Amino acid sequence: MSFSLSHPVNTALLLYVLYLLQRIILPSTAIPRKAPTEFKASYSWMPRAHAPALLFTTYTPQTLTKFSGSDGGRILLAIAGTVFDVTAGRGFYGPEGMYGNFAGRDASRGMAKQSFDLDMLTPIDQPLDKLEDLTPDEIENMKGWIEHFTNKYIICGRLVENDAATL
């Protein structure tokens, strides 16, 4: 079997190999050495600034209320003791959002009962809601919300009683 340039496939392969060798030996100077950080002449996937680091923290109902988003800052809410950072969903969970009353609060009962009423929220100076009177269907609703939030938002802490020691 002999190599012949008369066959078009052989010619194409030879040209491709030469092209690859040229790219290795003489790399293009047009390729930027650093990824762009803003849009100029081409698309950039780099953000202007990275979000601040988020540490897993223990919250109480009283400390969680600071994260209602009313100051334009982070928005957190808790379901069944798990605290989620829902800041990315500000349109839903911010002060003007339809779930805004859950921001900075334990939303377990409201999510379980599919109710946005303020009476679904336990006062922040009271013990955590034990949710003992929920029906099996309501518990399944709450578990569905936990799964949704776990897949969409960052888990950033746990909710404990007001008198519990924080870590």
Instruction: Using DSSP bridges, classify how beta strands 154-159 and 57-59 pair: parallel, antiparallel or unpaired.
Output: parallel
User: What are the tens digits of pLDDT across the range 139-152?
Assistant: 999 999 999 999 99
φ, ψ of residue 84 to 5 degrees: the values are: -115, 140
Instruction: For the beta carbon of residue 137, count every other beta carbon within 10 angstroms.
Output: 11
State what percent of residues in the chain have pLDDT above 70.
Answer: 81
Q: What architecture is domain 57-159?
A: Roll (3.10)
Check residue 116 and give its pLDDT: 86
DSSP string spanning 39-87?
-SSS-----SSPPPP---EEE-HHHHGGGBSTTSS-BEEEETTEEEE-G
- Give the pLDDT band (50/70/90) at residue 164: confident
pLDDT at 36 over 60: no
φ, ψ of residue 145 to 5 degrees: the values are: -65, -40
- Give the pLDDT band (50/70/90) at residue 21: confident
Which residues, in sequence order, are CB contacts of 28 under 8 Å at separation 6+?
Answer: none
Check residue 25 and give its pLDDT: 84
5-14, 98-107, 146-155: segment of lowest average pLDDT: 5-14
Radius of gyration of the chain from its Cα atoms, rounded to whole angstroms: 27
The answer to whether residues 69 and 122 touch, using CB atoms and an 8 Å cutoff, is no
Distance CA 79, CA 159 (A): 9
Domain residue extents for the chain: 57-159
- Shortest CA distance to 89 belongs to which of 99, 80, 81? 99
